[in-house]
Structure 1
Amino acid sequence: MCPASDPADDGAPALRLHRPARLQDASDLRYVLTGWARARDLPEALIADLELAVYEALVNSAEHAYPDGTTGTLHLHAHHDDHTVRVTVTDHGQWRPQPAPDPLRGRGLPLIHLLADHAEITATDQGTVITMTWQLTRDRA
Protein backbone atom coordinates (compact mmCIF):
# COMPACT_ATOMS: atom_id res chain seq x y z
CA MET A 1 0.00 0.00 0.00
CA CYS A 2 1.09 3.54 -0.62
CA PRO A 3 1.52 5.41 2.62
CA ALA A 4 -0.86 8.32 3.04
CA SER A 5 2.08 10.46 4.14
CA ASP A 6 3.56 10.24 0.63
CA PRO A 7 3.55 13.87 -0.54
CA ALA A 8 3.36 12.79 -4.20
CA ASP A 9 5.10 15.98 -5.28
CA ASP A 10 7.53 14.38 -7.72
CA GLY A 11 6.10 16.40 -10.61
CA ALA A 12 4.06 13.54 -12.06
CA PRO A 13 0.56 14.57 -13.15
CA ALA A 14 -1.03 11.50 -11.52
CA LEU A 15 -1.52 10.44 -7.94
CA ARG A 16 -2.40 6.83 -7.08
CA LEU A 17 -3.05 5.78 -3.50
CA HIS A 18 -4.89 3.01 -1.72
CA ARG A 19 -5.68 2.65 1.93
CA PRO A 20 -8.03 0.69 4.19
CA ALA A 21 -11.62 1.91 3.97
CA ARG A 22 -11.69 3.61 7.37
CA LEU A 23 -12.66 7.17 8.22
CA GLN A 24 -9.17 8.06 9.46
CA ASP A 25 -7.66 6.79 6.22
CA ALA A 26 -10.18 8.87 4.24
CA SER A 27 -8.92 11.94 6.13
CA ASP A 28 -5.30 11.01 5.43
CA LEU A 29 -6.04 10.58 1.71
CA ARG A 30 -7.75 13.98 1.64
CA TYR A 31 -4.62 15.67 3.04
CA VAL A 32 -2.35 13.94 0.53
CA LEU A 33 -4.67 14.96 -2.33
CA THR A 34 -4.67 18.56 -1.14
CA GLY A 35 -0.85 18.60 -1.02
CA TRP A 36 -0.71 17.08 -4.52
CA ALA A 37 -3.08 19.77 -5.84
CA ARG A 38 -1.10 22.60 -4.22
CA ALA A 39 2.16 21.20 -5.63
CA ARG A 40 0.61 21.66 -9.07
CA ASP A 41 -0.32 25.30 -8.34
CA LEU A 42 -4.01 24.66 -8.83
CA PRO A 43 -6.25 27.59 -7.84
CA GLU A 44 -7.22 27.59 -4.15
CA ALA A 45 -10.95 27.75 -4.97
CA LEU A 46 -10.58 24.60 -7.05
CA ILE A 47 -8.57 22.90 -4.31
CA ALA A 48 -11.33 23.66 -1.80
CA ASP A 49 -13.98 22.12 -4.08
CA LEU A 50 -11.73 19.16 -4.85
CA GLU A 51 -10.90 18.52 -1.21
CA LEU A 52 -14.51 18.53 0.00
CA ALA A 53 -16.00 16.55 -2.91
CA VAL A 54 -13.32 13.87 -2.81
CA TYR A 55 -13.53 13.61 0.97
CA GLU A 56 -17.29 13.04 0.70
CA ALA A 57 -16.68 10.27 -1.86
CA LEU A 58 -14.05 8.65 0.37
CA VAL A 59 -16.23 8.80 3.48
CA ASN A 60 -19.25 7.41 1.59
CA SER A 61 -17.16 4.48 0.40
CA ALA A 62 -15.70 3.88 3.86
CA GLU A 63 -19.12 4.02 5.55
CA HIS A 64 -21.36 2.30 3.03
CA ALA A 65 -19.39 -0.13 0.88
CA TYR A 66 -18.31 -2.76 3.36
CA PRO A 67 -20.39 -4.75 5.89
CA ASP A 68 -19.99 -3.90 9.55
CA GLY A 69 -16.88 -5.48 10.98
CA THR A 70 -15.03 -5.68 7.66
CA THR A 71 -12.51 -3.28 6.20
CA GLY A 72 -12.09 -3.14 2.48
CA THR A 73 -9.89 -0.86 0.42
CA LEU A 74 -10.25 2.68 -0.91
CA HIS A 75 -8.44 3.57 -4.12
CA LEU A 76 -7.83 7.19 -5.04
CA HIS A 77 -6.55 8.17 -8.46
CA ALA A 78 -6.07 11.81 -9.42
CA HIS A 79 -4.85 13.11 -12.76
CA HIS A 80 -4.08 16.65 -13.84
CA ASP A 81 -3.45 17.93 -17.35
CA ASP A 82 -3.63 21.37 -18.99
CA HIS A 83 -7.43 21.37 -19.09
CA THR A 84 -8.82 19.17 -16.35
CA VAL A 85 -8.38 17.55 -12.98
CA ARG A 86 -10.00 14.14 -12.68
CA VAL A 87 -10.27 12.20 -9.44
CA THR A 88 -11.61 8.68 -9.10
CA VAL A 89 -12.52 6.99 -5.82
CA THR A 90 -13.05 3.24 -6.08
CA ASP A 91 -14.17 0.65 -3.58
CA HIS A 92 -14.74 -3.07 -4.02
CA GLY A 93 -17.74 -3.43 -1.74
CA GLN A 94 -21.49 -3.32 -2.03
CA TRP A 95 -23.09 -0.06 -0.91
CA ARG A 96 -25.70 -0.73 1.73
CA PRO A 97 -28.77 1.45 2.05
CA GLN A 98 -29.27 3.27 5.33
CA PRO A 99 -31.88 1.61 7.56
CA ALA A 100 -33.97 4.78 8.03
CA PRO A 101 -33.76 8.29 6.60
CA ASP A 102 -31.69 10.57 8.80
CA PRO A 103 -32.29 14.32 8.33
CA LEU A 104 -28.68 15.01 9.35
CA ARG A 105 -27.19 12.69 6.69
CA GLY A 106 -27.55 11.98 3.01
CA ARG A 107 -25.97 15.13 1.63
CA GLY A 108 -22.69 13.64 0.38
CA LEU A 109 -23.66 12.68 -3.17
CA PRO A 110 -25.59 15.91 -3.86
CA LEU A 111 -22.61 17.86 -2.53
CA ILE A 112 -20.25 15.96 -4.85
CA HIS A 113 -22.47 16.81 -7.83
CA LEU A 114 -22.56 20.46 -6.76
CA LEU A 115 -18.81 20.86 -6.24
CA ALA A 116 -17.48 18.96 -9.27
CA ASP A 117 -18.02 20.19 -12.80
CA HIS A 118 -19.01 16.62 -13.66
CA ALA A 119 -19.58 13.65 -11.37
CA GLU A 120 -20.45 10.09 -12.31
CA ILE A 121 -21.20 7.22 -9.95
CA THR A 122 -20.99 3.70 -11.34
CA ALA A 123 -22.05 0.83 -9.08
CA THR A 124 -21.40 -2.77 -10.12
CA ASP A 125 -21.19 -6.13 -8.39
CA GLN A 126 -17.41 -5.54 -8.12
CA GLY A 127 -17.71 -2.19 -6.34
CA THR A 128 -18.44 1.47 -6.89
CA VAL A 129 -16.47 4.06 -8.85
CA ILE A 130 -17.02 7.77 -8.28
CA THR A 131 -15.40 9.91 -10.96
CA MET A 132 -15.24 13.67 -10.48
CA THR A 133 -13.92 16.11 -13.07
CA TRP A 134 -13.08 19.79 -12.83
CA GLN A 135 -12.34 22.05 -15.82
CA LEU A 136 -9.33 24.30 -15.24
CA THR A 137 -10.74 26.99 -17.52
CA ARG A 138 -13.79 27.58 -15.30
CA ASP A 139 -13.81 30.78 -13.22
CA ARG A 140 -14.33 29.78 -9.57
CA ALA A 141 -14.10 33.25 -8.04
Structure 2
Amino acid sequence: MARSGDLDGAAEPELRVCRPARTDDITGLRHDLAGWLRALDVPGDLAGDVELAAYEAMINTADHAYPKTPGDVELTAHHEAGLIRVTVTDHGRWLPPTANPGPLHGRGLPLIRALPDDATVDPTERGTTVTMTWYPKGPGST
Protein backbone atom coordinates (compact mmCIF):
# COMPACT_ATOMS: atom_id res chain seq x y z
CA MET A 1 0.00 0.00 0.00
CA ALA A 2 1.11 3.55 -0.63
CA ARG A 3 2.43 5.73 2.15
CA SER A 4 2.57 9.50 2.41
CA GLY A 5 4.97 10.91 -0.15
CA ASP A 6 4.24 8.12 -2.61
CA LEU A 7 1.56 10.22 -4.31
CA ASP A 8 2.83 11.72 -7.55
CA GLY A 9 -0.02 14.21 -7.99
CA ALA A 10 -1.61 12.21 -10.79
CA ALA A 11 -5.37 11.82 -10.56
CA GLU A 12 -5.38 8.10 -9.91
CA PRO A 13 -8.85 6.53 -9.58
CA GLU A 14 -7.88 4.85 -6.29
CA LEU A 15 -5.87 5.79 -3.24
CA ARG A 16 -4.73 3.05 -0.85
CA VAL A 17 -2.76 3.94 2.26
CA CYS A 18 -1.98 2.07 5.49
CA ARG A 19 -0.47 3.73 8.55
CA PRO A 20 -0.27 3.27 12.30
CA ALA A 21 -3.48 4.40 14.01
CA ARG A 22 -1.84 7.30 15.83
CA THR A 23 -2.98 10.91 15.71
CA ASP A 24 0.04 12.22 13.77
CA ASP A 25 -0.15 9.42 11.21
CA ILE A 26 -3.90 9.87 10.80
CA THR A 27 -3.36 13.57 10.16
CA GLY A 28 -0.94 12.52 7.40
CA LEU A 29 -3.60 10.22 5.96
CA ARG A 30 -6.03 13.14 5.94
CA HIS A 31 -3.49 15.18 3.95
CA ASP A 32 -3.01 12.27 1.52
CA LEU A 33 -6.77 12.11 0.97
CA ALA A 34 -7.03 15.89 0.55
CA GLY A 35 -4.27 15.82 -2.09
CA TRP A 36 -5.99 12.98 -3.94
CA LEU A 37 -9.29 14.88 -3.93
CA ARG A 38 -7.54 18.02 -5.24
CA ALA A 39 -5.89 16.01 -8.03
CA LEU A 40 -9.36 14.81 -9.04
CA ASP A 41 -10.70 18.41 -9.00
CA VAL A 42 -13.41 17.48 -6.51
CA PRO A 43 -15.38 20.66 -5.67
CA GLY A 44 -14.46 22.29 -2.35
CA ASP A 45 -17.63 21.59 -0.33
CA LEU A 46 -17.74 17.96 -1.41
CA ALA A 47 -14.00 17.52 -0.80
CA GLY A 48 -14.44 19.00 2.68
CA ASP A 49 -17.25 16.56 3.49
CA VAL A 50 -15.23 13.58 2.25
CA GLU A 51 -12.14 14.68 4.15
CA LEU A 52 -14.01 15.33 7.43
CA ALA A 53 -16.03 12.10 7.39
CA ALA A 54 -12.93 10.04 6.55
CA TYR A 55 -10.90 11.78 9.26
CA GLU A 56 -13.60 11.04 11.85
CA ALA A 57 -13.60 7.35 10.85
CA MET A 58 -9.80 7.21 10.98
CA ILE A 59 -9.43 9.00 14.33
CA ASN A 60 -11.99 6.60 15.81
CA THR A 61 -9.52 3.79 15.15
CA ALA A 62 -6.93 5.43 17.38
CA ASP A 63 -9.46 6.22 20.10
CA HIS A 64 -11.58 3.07 20.04
CA ALA A 65 -10.11 0.17 18.05
CA TYR A 66 -6.67 0.27 19.65
CA PRO A 67 -7.06 1.93 23.05
CA LYS A 68 -4.18 -0.02 24.66
CA THR A 69 -2.24 -1.72 21.87
CA PRO A 70 -0.91 -0.30 18.60
CA GLY A 71 -2.46 -1.17 15.28
CA ASP A 72 -2.91 0.05 11.73
CA VAL A 73 -5.64 1.91 9.91
CA GLU A 74 -6.24 1.36 6.19
CA LEU A 75 -7.70 4.06 3.97
CA THR A 76 -9.03 3.25 0.52
CA ALA A 77 -10.61 5.94 -1.64
CA HIS A 78 -12.10 5.12 -5.03
CA HIS A 79 -13.43 7.43 -7.72
CA GLU A 80 -15.38 6.72 -10.86
CA ALA A 81 -17.91 8.77 -12.80
CA GLY A 82 -20.64 9.84 -10.38
CA LEU A 83 -19.18 8.10 -7.32
CA ILE A 84 -16.61 8.62 -4.57
CA ARG A 85 -16.26 5.80 -2.04
CA VAL A 86 -14.00 5.93 1.01
CA THR A 87 -13.37 2.89 3.19
CA VAL A 88 -11.58 2.98 6.54
CA THR A 89 -10.62 -0.37 8.06
CA ASP A 90 -9.00 -1.33 11.35
CA HIS A 91 -8.18 -4.71 12.83
CA GLY A 92 -8.91 -3.77 16.42
CA ARG A 93 -11.84 -4.33 18.69
CA TRP A 94 -15.15 -2.47 18.29
CA LEU A 95 -16.16 -0.47 21.33
CA PRO A 96 -19.75 0.74 21.25
CA PRO A 97 -20.27 4.47 21.88
CA THR A 98 -20.68 5.46 25.50
CA ALA A 99 -23.98 6.91 26.71
CA ASN A 100 -22.36 10.17 27.87
CA PRO A 101 -19.15 10.72 25.87
CA GLY A 102 -18.56 14.26 27.15
CA PRO A 103 -18.31 17.54 25.24
CA LEU A 104 -15.24 16.62 23.17
CA HIS A 105 -16.38 13.19 22.00
CA GLY A 106 -19.39 11.51 20.44
CA ARG A 107 -19.61 13.49 17.20
CA GLY A 108 -17.71 11.11 14.92
CA LEU A 109 -20.39 8.55 14.10
CA PRO A 110 -23.12 11.17 13.58
CA LEU A 111 -20.82 13.02 11.12
CA ILE A 112 -19.87 9.75 9.41
CA ARG A 113 -23.57 9.02 8.90
CA ALA A 114 -24.62 12.57 7.95
CA LEU A 115 -21.95 13.75 5.48
CA PRO A 116 -21.97 11.01 2.81
CA ASP A 117 -24.97 9.92 0.78
CA ASP A 118 -24.55 6.41 2.18
CA ALA A 119 -22.56 5.09 5.13
CA THR A 120 -22.16 1.70 6.76
CA VAL A 121 -20.27 0.70 9.90
CA ASP A 122 -19.47 -3.00 9.96
CA PRO A 123 -17.91 -4.18 13.26
CA THR A 124 -16.66 -7.77 13.33
CA GLU A 125 -14.36 -9.84 15.53
CA ARG A 126 -11.54 -9.04 13.07
CA GLY A 127 -12.00 -5.27 13.13
CA THR A 128 -14.30 -2.57 11.84
CA THR A 129 -14.88 -1.29 8.32
CA VAL A 130 -16.55 2.06 7.69
CA THR A 131 -17.68 2.61 4.10
CA MET A 132 -18.87 6.05 2.98
CA THR A 133 -20.19 6.80 -0.49
CA TRP A 134 -20.97 10.08 -2.21
CA TYR A 135 -22.90 10.39 -5.46
CA PRO A 136 -21.94 13.84 -6.79
CA LYS A 137 -24.61 15.52 -8.90
CA GLY A 138 -24.84 18.58 -11.09
CA PRO A 139 -22.31 20.86 -12.79
CA GLY A 140 -18.75 20.48 -11.60
CA SER A 141 -19.43 17.11 -9.99
CA THR A 142 -16.81 14.46 -10.35
* Fold shared by both chains (TM-score > 0.5): yes
In structure 2, relative to structure 1, the CA distance for the partners of 1:16 and 1:8 (3 Å cut) is: farther
| Distance in 1 separating the partners of 2:117 and 2:110 | 12
Does residue 1:76 correspond to 2:69, yes or no? no
Gaps of 5+ in 2: none
User: Could you tell me which residue of structure 1 aligns to residue 45 of structure 2?
Assistant: 45
The one-letter code sitting in structure 1 at the alignment partner of 2:2 is C
In structure 2, relative to structure 1, the CA distance for the partners of 1:88 and 1:48 (3 Å cut) is: same
Contact 1:6 1:32 in 2 (8 A): no
> Aligned residues, how many?
139
In structure 2, relative to structure 1, the CA distance for the partners of 1:98 and 1:12 (3 Å cut) is: closer
Contact 2:16 2:74 in 1 (8 A): yes
Instruction: Please report how far the alpha carbon of residue 2 of structure 1 lies from its aligned counterpart in structure 2 after TM superposition.
Output: 3.1
| Distance in 2 separating the partners of 1:136 and 1:100 | 34
Tell me the secondary structure at the aligned position of residue 133 of structure 1: strand
Calculate the TM-score normalised by the size of structure 2.
Answer: 0.89
Contact 2:94 2:124 in 1 (8 A): no
User: Could you tell me which residue of structure 2 aligns to residue 101 of structure 1?
Assistant: 100
Superposition pairs of residues 1-141 of structure 1, within 5 angstroms: 2-7=2-7, 9-68=9-68, 70-97=69-96, 101-104=100-103, 105-137=105-137
| Distance in 1 separating the partners of 2:135 and 2:97 | 33
The one-letter code sitting in structure 2 at the alignment partner of 1:77 is T
The one-letter code sitting in structure 2 at the alignment partner of 1:107 is R
Identity of aligned residues (%): 49
Instruction: Please report how far the alpha carbon of residue 138 of structure 1 lies from its aligned counterpart in structure 2 after TM superposition.
Output: 5.9
Moved over 3 A (4+): 97-100
Instruction: Please report how far the alpha carbon of residue 96 of structure 1 lies from its aligned counterpart in structure 2 after TM superposition.
Output: 2.7
Gaps of 5+ in 1: none
| Distance in 2 separating the partners of 1:98 and 1:136 | 30
